[in-house]
A and B are shown apart, each in its own frame.
Chain A
Amino acid sequence: MAGHVLVIEDEPNIIEAISFILSRDGWRVDTHSNGVDAVDVVRAKAPDVVILDVMLPGRSGYDILRDLRDDPATSAVPVLMLTARGQSRDRELAERAGVSRFMTKPFSNSEVLDAVRALIPT
């Protein structure tokens, strides 16, 4: 088992595709599609990597990321942020919030796989 990934994304077909490619690569995958309780889910599941969408129902990915970084229990978890907004301002917001890696849609499967692999400490 390569590790445990939690995908927080509200687009069901993206969740399905990412889950499939990660699972095929040997990762254990959990998914969640709501921003409101996303922080609680990360605490409960304690994944090795979080894939986090920016625009989620109920709460922005930036706010979720800030909360994760403020909590000692989750502050060190690597977060790969996915967004359709690729402007420098969005990238800056993500960096200020403590993102580990920022990726804009549309991305390729191999890019996601490479990014997740790179975020796991060897």
Chain B
Amino acid sequence: MAQDTLTGSRIRERRVARRMKQADLARQAGISASYLNLIEHNRRRIGGKLLVDIAEILGVEPSALTEGAGAAMIATLREAAIAVPQAAAELDRVDEFAGRFPGWAQLLADGRTRIAALERMVETLNDRLTHDPHLAASLHEMLSTVTAIRSTATILTEPGEVEPEWQKRFLRNIFEDSGRLAETSRALVTFLEADGETVTETGTPQEEMDNALEAEGHHVPDLEQGGSVAQALDRIGQGLSTAGRSLLRQFLNRYAADAAALPADRLADAVTRLGPDPAALAQALGTDPALVMRRLAALPEDLLPEPVGLVICDPSGVLSYRKPLPEFALPRIGAACPLWPLYRALNRPMVIIAQAIAQAGRPGEGVRAEALAVPRGPIAVNADPQYDAHMLLRALPRDQRPQEVQPVGVTCRICPRKACPVRREPSVVAGID
């Protein structure tokens, strides 16, 4: 992997923030001011003892100087720039921005995330107003009743003779219609108030579930101890919409079955010996590697030697589960990059596809991915199996050779790879070959 090229910029930022002269830092670090100047302008690479020394002088961890902002934050910042193209934000300098001003970058990314959530909520509500059959029927009835009242009242108030018998009929009609209108209005308000309680800011049911699981750290202690899914759902699914709870229930049912099939202590014991290697663990434990991947993602961090991420897609390729890693951004909405091994696995079911991958524009970061597609449900006569694909994500080993790392993207819209054979739509990011 290419080494991150902005370490010098971060050193300069930290130095300036401490109101320290370049010459003073150079002197304390035992190098010349001109050499430090080259480092600070990213014209000389820095590492080893010198990096550690400079980090110590600046009072920060070395990783704070070498590691840029998380891939997820960069992706969110890119989305923010794309959402307001007239601002002409310098997309090619997004890494530098996030590296130099991490606080402002986080603020902007959080703002973008909130705006996106609110936009989705507006869209959801608008869609509901347009397509909800109950709402449409109620509004139709209200408008019809109002029309009848308006038309009848106009007849009674217009100049011109209306016979007493017609007058009585029209007055009775208005009385009846006003009663209907009151009843329909009351029912509509009840409906909207009840529904409003279930509308969350998170947007789609999938996002509701993702957020609920993220809050739990993807580990459900209740179900590890053989507790009931219903109780776990009540605890975790508070505030979720009906659709969100339904998705969460499906997930928890599978979680409970997985936990019973492969208890956490048994897996943790094997991980201690073999590491979080799904193929080796599956072989040693005599079980399904996809089950091992799901269970690894559900283990508490203190039982793992390194963090793991997991992505699962359904037979249509839509992401149905996501546990992200900082090194690997996952699209919040829309389709993911078709180059991910996750999708290759759908083409080669029951084969574990292992590959080192890195997302374009993220030098110094990457993951090893192990992907596997397994049939959904039991095998049936004359029925084509449907496959769910799993992709376990782990940080790249330190000895990974850069030429063995396959470049991939997050999603086409923010991917800079120009000559991509599977591009779905044009990118708004300056391209790279």
In the assembly, what is the distance between CA of A11 and CA of B166, in Å?
A: 18
B130 CB-CB contact with A under 8 Å: yes
In the assembly, what is the distance between CA of A87 and CA of B177, in Å?
A: 25
> Which residue of chain A has its CB nearest to the CB of B172?
A13
Instruction: Flag B25-54 by CB within 8 Å of A: 1 or 0 each.
Output: 000000000000000000000000000000
> Which residue of chain A has its CB nearest to the CB of B130?
A87
> Which residue of chain A has its CB nearest to the CB of B177?
A13
Mark out the residues of chain B between 317 and 338 whose CB falls within 8 Å of any chain A CB in the assembled complex.
none
Mark out the residues of chain B between 133 and 186 whose CB falls within 8 Å of any chain A CB in the assembled complex.
136, 139-140, 143-148, 150-152, 154-155, 158, 160, 166, 169-170, 173, 176-177
Contact of B148 among A13, A21, A87, A112 (CB under 8 A): A13
B143 contacts A14, C-beta separation under 8 Å? no
* B137 CB → nearest A CB, Å: 9
A13 contacts B152, C-beta separation under 8 Å? yes
B169 contacts A11, C-beta separation under 8 Å? no
Contact of B143 among A16, A21, A87, A105 (CB under 8 A): A105
Residues on the B chain within 8 Å of A14, using CB: 144, 147-148, 151
Residues on the B chain within 8 Å of A24, using CB: 160
Q: How many chain B residues touch A (Cβ–Cβ < 8 Å)?
A: 23
A16 contacts B147, C-beta separation under 8 Å? no
> Which residue of chain A has its CB nearest to the CB of B174?
A13
A118 CB-CB contact with B under 8 Å: no
In the assembly, what is the distance between CA of A84 and CA of B151, in Å?
A: 15
A-B contact pairs, 30 of them (CB 8 A): A11-B144, A11-B145, A11-B147, A13-B152, A13-B173, A13-B177, A14-B144, A14-B147, A14-B151, A16-B152, A17-B148, A17-B155, A17-B170, A17-B173, A20-B166, A84-B139, A84-B144, A85-B140, A87-B130, A105-B144, A105-B146, A106-B143, A106-B146, A106-B147, A107-B151, A108-B150, A108-B154, A109-B151, A109-B155, A112-B151
In the assembly, what is the distance between CA of A33 and CA of B92, in Å?
A: 65
B177 contacts A55, C-beta separation under 8 Å? no
B155 contacts A20, C-beta separation under 8 Å? yes
Instruction: Flag A8-44 by CB within 8 Å of B: 1 or 0 each.
Output: 0001011011101100100000000000000000000
Interface residues of B (CB under 8 A from A): 130, 136, 139-140, 143-148, 150-152, 154-155, 158, 160, 166, 169-170, 173, 176-177
Contact of A16 among B140, B154, B173 (CB under 8 A): B173
Task: Give the interface centre of A16, A21, A85, A107 by most chain B CB atoms within 10 Å.
Answer: A16
Task: Give the interface centre of B136, B147, B166 by most chain A CB atoms within 10 Å.
Answer: B147
Residues on the A chain within 8 Å of B146, using CB: 105-106
Contact of B151 among A17, A85, A87 (CB under 8 A): A17
Q: How large is the interface on A (under 10, 10 to 19, 20 to 34, 35 or more residues)?
A: 10 to 19
Residues on the A chain within 8 Å of B151, using CB: 14, 17-18, 21, 106-109, 112
Residues on the A chain within 8 Å of B169, using CB: 16
6 shortest A-B CB distances, which residue pairs?
A: A84-B143, A17-B151, A13-B148, A106-B147, A105-B147, A84-B140
Residues on the A chain within 8 Å of B170, using CB: 16-17, 20
Interface residues of A (CB under 8 A from B): 11, 13-14, 16-18, 20-21, 24, 55, 84-85, 87, 105-109, 112
Can you name 17 extra interface pairs (CB under 8 A) apart from A11-B148, A84-B147, A107-B147? A11-B147, A13-B173, A13-B177, A14-B147, A17-B170, A17-B173, A18-B151, A21-B155, A85-B136, A105-B146, A105-B147, A106-B143, A106-B146, A108-B151, A109-B154, A109-B158, A112-B151
B177 contacts A106, C-beta separation under 8 Å? no
In the assembly, what is the distance between CA of A89 and CA of B223, in Å?
A: 49
In the assembly, what is the distance between CA of A14 and CA of B139, in Å?
A: 16
Residues on the A chain within 8 Å of B150, using CB: 106, 108
A55 contacts B155, C-beta separation under 8 Å? no
Task: Give the interface centre of A13, A105, A106 by most chain B CB atoms within 10 Å.
Answer: A13
In the assembly, what is the distance between CA of A115 and CA of B140, in Å?
A: 22
* A55 CB → nearest B CB, Å: 6
* A29 CB → nearest B CB, Å: 14
Residues on the A chain within 8 Å of B139, using CB: 84
> Which residue of chain A has its CB nearest to the CB of B148?
A13
